[in-house]
Amino acid sequence: MRAHSMLETPQPMPGNAPWTKLDDKVKRVWRWGAFLGPLTLLIPGLAIGIAIERKRDLPVPLTFLVVGAYVLISLISFFFVERKFEAWRYRITEEDIATRSGIFWRNKRYVGRHRVQHVDVTAGPIQRALGLAEIKVYVAGGEAASIPGLTEHEAERIRQTLLRQDKVPPVAPAPPLPPQGL
């Protein structure tokens, strides 16, 4: 029996490969984001609300409205996590990398594997705590695609698959330049 390497490079899927779901733990990351993301608006909103309340006599304190907006945005984001998860899919074939996402605005992105320049594997603190990572695929024009919610092992496996050198034909050496006349 042959021992398998943890990072063995897999064979790419055929062109009609099924779409793959993200890891279930990404829902926890997105739920944390639903509460932490709007905090960037809550703190300055509270500061502005307090400053305005000191100068004006308002029937409803502005800070209540700011906190209410934060709670509303957070709850809406929190409840859409499941739908976002169900909408997110990816697949990697011999020809391309494809992602599909979006609840209201559906996005499909296809990137030819021959265009891939480099691939980053990233993970924030919450992702690392849950053993998750995100793949970011770059082409000559910048970031072309990303796949969140992968296990660290799966992210590294995909990175190795995308960077395999046998997918690009070798470049023939350029002919020598003719001698320059004096």
d(CA 69, CA 142): 35
Q: At 50, is the pLDDT very low, low, confident or very high (cuts 50, 70, 90)?
A: confident
pTM of the model: 0.72
Confidence of residue 55 (pLDDT cuts 50, 70, 90): confident
Work out the average pLDDT over 40-56: 81
Q: What number is the average pLDDT over the span 173-180?
A: 70
Condensed to tens digits (0 to 9), the pLDDT of residues 119-165 reads 999 999 999 999 999 999 999 988 899 999 999 999 999 999 998 85
Residue indicated by tokens 């919610």: 149
pLDDT digits (tens, 9 = 90+) for 60-111: 677 888 888 888 988 998 899 999 999 999 999 988 999 999 999 999 999 9
- For the chain, domains (ranges, CATH) are 90-166 (2.30.29)
